[in-house]
Amino acid sequence: MAGMFITLEGIDGSGKTTLLQLMTDHLQALGHTVLPTREPGGSMAGARLRALLLESVFGTVDDRAEALLYAADRAFHVAEVIRPALQRGEIVISDRYIDSGLAYQGGGRGLSLEMLLQINSFAVNGLMPDITFWLDLPVETALARLCGERDRLEQENIDFFRRTAAVYQQLAMTQPQRFLRIDAVQAPQMVLMEIMRVLGPRLG
Ligand code: TYD
């Protein structure tokens, strides 16, 4: 495929959303065509799934149902948004992707990573990111950054996020070519510079 697929990962409060905006602006200013997107909710149908997954009015969601809904959202996202954009040669940057499905449902919820890899591989039909930036920072710092009303997942306790972060750590160790750790304690502009140091040579 002609384009480039970049994903941003990290626990809630790690600054992915800010970085998505900064990266998009920066790459567009360099003349690239960029499609910023996110999970859950990156496709039309996904927007409905996002409400089901995050709005506390729906009460608790069974862990396995949750994992499958995130995977279904991802399948819509790949088929309707990501793959077509890559085929048009664009740079796609997604705020969360398959690694969130492993870290949150595997680490946070404690479901089998092997099973999650299977259902998610089915969902994405072979489409892995070219590169993933993991915005890493202490769990306490990240949670302190969250302001306003917290969604259903953000209401989880600190141990939930520690377990989630541990899976990200594992991914950084087992897939060092794709999954890169970035220190997210620093200011957003510094994070952007670090990301661009890696991306620059790849973009030519
Ligand atoms: P996020 O977009 O980070 O929320 P916000 O709009 O508040 O920035 O993601 C929503 C939540 O969904 C987040 O707590 C992580 C969770 N999530 C999973 O548990 N599994 C997944 O596969 C994905 C994509 C997200």
Q: Look up residue 177 and give its two tokens.
A: 């070519």
| Closest residue by CA, ligand 1 atom 17 | 100
Distance of alpha carbon 53 from its chain centroid, rounded?
Answer: 15
Per-residue confidence in pLDDT tens, the chain, 204 aa: 689 999 999 999 999 999 999 999 999 999 999 999 999 999 999 999 998 888 877 778 899 999 999 999 999 999 999 999 999 999 999 999 999 999 999 999 999 999 999 999 999 999 999 999 999 999 999 998 887 777 877 878 899 999 999 999 999 999 999 999 999 999 999 999 999 999 999 997
Q: Which amino acid is at 76?
A: F
pLDDT of residue 9: 98
Q: Could you tell me the pTM of the whole model?
A: 0.95
Domains of the chain: which residue ranges?
4-203
Q: What angle do CA 8, 72, 146 make, to 5 degrees?
A: 40
- Residues 124 and 98 sit within 8 Å (Cβ to Cβ): yes
Q: Which overall architecture, per CATH, does domain 4-203 show?
A: 3-Layer(aba) Sandwich (3.40)
CA 185 to ligand 1 center in whole angstroms: 20
pLDDT of residue 1: 63
Distance (Å, rounded) from C-alpha 20 to C-alpha 1? 22
The finding on whether 46 has its CB within 6 A of some atom of ligand 1 is no
pLDDT of residue 82: 98
The finding on whether 17 has its CB within 6 A of some atom of ligand 1 is yes
User: 41 CB contacts (<8 Å, ≥6 apart)?
Assistant: 47, 49, 50, 73
Question: Rounded to the nearest 10 degrees, how much is the dihedral formed by the CA atoms of 46, 78, 132, 3?
Answer: -130
